[in-house]
């Protein structure tokens, strides 16, 4: 099939928009930490993108999209982008490669939630390479590269398992290994710059249009549907989280933007398979579910600092299951549970469960190995001073 100029232009634009989501994560997280760590959080997002950019073009892409090996991983036929050229089916193969690269980059940035304000920069960089290679790449292959999940019939339009379950439950595993921040539960660790978080959230909402619509890989009706359901799901999540938090106090802007992200996460796997009314239910439910998960995390005294588990992990798990409930053949060619297709629902539940277990267990093992060899955490003195100074030699104050 010849290269389509319109589709190619569309995916180039989507790639650029999705790239902005990675610094968006940095700003979103940066505003939620103490001022002595804001540079560190934003820098880790940029570092995530830089590390993944090199990992992806050397080995990550081929492990994800190379010839299938036992349904688990891709072969090395595209090592260092061998055979990835400027021709392709509709869009150039090289463009598809870089579109997938920006997905991998933002996923590693989300993972930083579990180690915020206490991770050694050198250890994080090593962890980033290992995690992307051992966790992200196999999950991408399972869903999109010819692996077992895709062959089974699991639906994941834009990364519910690959991006959100992996990073959310990976962050939970990291938090368990690295331990709580010094003074967690004793001293206030409230978000110090909500303005920065809101700006980051706005960048995420903007980029998510391309994240989901671009996953159609063509400027067509499915892309339009993905854009519309992305927006209404985010809006529903924002409203339900805000209303739920209002019951306990004030309708905070942090709750509003967190709910929007929950709605965005949940609609991601379903965006090519459901219509707008289902998206409102999916997003609204995600706002309530993820807010409840946050409260549960706080009640248990677990310092998964910026709630990637509550929002991305639980939101992604719900989104994968919701795809099996609300999928409509009129939109994406496959019906879900409400249309009588129980089998699809069971496939989605199984796929999400396997992804959850794999991401958690493998991340836990990687973190333990790094902690025993390099040390995952900064010293207590460095943590007290703040990572901006101790890791970067920089400060937001004069």
Percent of the chain predicted with pLDDT > 70: 99
User: Across-strand partners of 184?
Assistant: 187
pLDDT score recorded for residue 397: 72
Distance separating alpha carbons of residues 255 and 388, to the nearest angstrom: 26
Distance separating alpha carbons of residues 321 and 180, to the nearest angstrom: 31
In terms of residues, how long is the chain? 398
In angstroms, what CA-CA distances link 144 with 65, 79, 80, 172, 175? 8, 18, 20, 25, 29
As given in the structure block, the two tokens for residue 213 are 């619509």
pLDDT score recorded for residue 190: 84
pLDDT tens, position by position, 76-110: 999 999 999 999 999 999 999 999 999 999 999 99
366-391 average pLDDT score = 97
pLDDT tens, position by position, 168-179: 999 999 999 999
- Per DSSP, helices labelled H in 20-134 are 21-30, 38-55, 61-65, 93-111, 121-131
Please choose, from the candidates 111, 120, 52, the residue with its C-alpha nearest in 3D space to the C-alpha of residue 374. Answer: 120
pLDDT tens, position by position, 49-63: 999 999 999 999 999
Phi-psi region of 80 (alpha: psi -120 to 50; beta: other; left: phi over 0): left
Query: Worst-scoring range by mean pLDDT, 20-24, 248-252, 345-349?
Result: 248-252
pLDDT score recorded for residue 188: 77
Please tell me the pTM assigned to this model: 0.97
pLDDT of 218 strictly over 60: yes
pLDDT score recorded for residue 168: 98
pLDDT tens, position by position, 106-150: 999 999 999 999 999 999 999 999 999 999 999 999 999 999 999
pLDDT of 378 strictly over 80: yes
pLDDT score recorded for residue 93: 98
228-236 average pLDDT score = 98
Q: What is the set of domains in the chain, with CATH numbers?
A: 5-392 (1.10.3430.10)
- The terminus-to-terminus CA distance of the chain in angstroms comes to 58
pLDDT band (50, 70, 90) for residue 339? very high
Distance separating alpha carbons of residues 191 and 173, to the nearest angstrom: 23
pLDDT score recorded for residue 186: 85
1-18 average pLDDT score = 96
pLDDT of 1 strictly over 70: no
pLDDT score recorded for residue 398: 53
Please choose, from the candidates 209, 85, 154, the residue with its C-alpha nearest in 3D space to the C-alpha of residue 354. Answer: 154
Question: What number of other Cβ atoms are within 10 A of residue 148's Cβ?
Answer: 16
pLDDT of 238 strictly over 80: yes
pLDDT tens, position by position, 293-329: 999 999 999 999 899 999 999 999 999 999 999 999 9
168 vs 249, residue with greater confidence: 168
pLDDT score recorded for residue 189: 84
């Amino acid at each position: 099939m010849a290269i389509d100029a319109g589709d190619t232009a569309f995916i180039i634009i989507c790639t650029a928009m999705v790239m902005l989501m990675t610094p968006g994560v940095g700003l979103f997280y940066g505003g939620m930490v103490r001022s002595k760590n804001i540079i560190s959080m934003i820098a880790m997002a940029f570092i995530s993108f830089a590390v993944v950019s090199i990992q992806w073009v050397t080995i990550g892409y081929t492990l994800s999209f190379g010839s299938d090996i036992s349904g688990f991983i891709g072969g090395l036929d595209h090592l260092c982008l061998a055979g990835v050229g400027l021709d392709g089916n509709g869009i150039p193969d090289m463009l598809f490669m870089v579109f997938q690269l920006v997905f991998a980059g933002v996923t590693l940035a989300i993972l930083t939630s579990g180690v915020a304000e206490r991770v050694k920069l050198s250890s994080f960089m090593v962890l980033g390479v290992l995690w992307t290679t051992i966790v992200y790449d196999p999950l991408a292959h399972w869903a999109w590269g010819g692996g077992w999940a895709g062959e089974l019939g699991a639906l994941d339009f834009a990364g519910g398992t690959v991006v959100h379950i992996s990073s959310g439950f990976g962050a939970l595993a990291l938090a368990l290994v690295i331990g709580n921040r010094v003074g967690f539960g004793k001293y206030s660790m409230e978000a110090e710059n909500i303005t920065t978080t809101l700006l980051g959230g706005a960048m995420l909402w903007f980029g998510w249009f391309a994240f989901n619509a671009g996953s159609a890989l063509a400027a067509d009706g499915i892309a339009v549907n993905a854009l519309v359901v992305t927006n209404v799901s985010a809006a529903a999540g924002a409203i339900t989280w805000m209303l739920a938090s209002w019951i306990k106090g004030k309708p905070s802007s942090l709750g509003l933007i967190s709910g929007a992200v929950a709605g965005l996460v949940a609609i991601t796997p379903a965006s090519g398979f459901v219509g707008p009314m289902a998206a409102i239910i999916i997003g609204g439910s995600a706002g309530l579910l993820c807010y409840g998960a946050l409260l549960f995390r706080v009640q248990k005294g677990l310092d998964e600092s910026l709630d990637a588990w509550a929002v991305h992990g639980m939101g992604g798990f719900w989104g994968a299951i919701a795809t099996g409930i609300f999928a409509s053949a009129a939109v994406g060619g496959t019906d879900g549970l409400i249309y009588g297709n129980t089998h699809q629902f069971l496939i989605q539940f199984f796929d999400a469960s396997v992804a959850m277990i794999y991401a958690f267990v493998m991340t836990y093992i990687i973190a333990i190995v790094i902690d025993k060899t390099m040390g995952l955490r900064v010293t207590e003195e460095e943590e007290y001073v703040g990572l901006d100074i101790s890791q970067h030699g920089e400060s937001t104050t004069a």
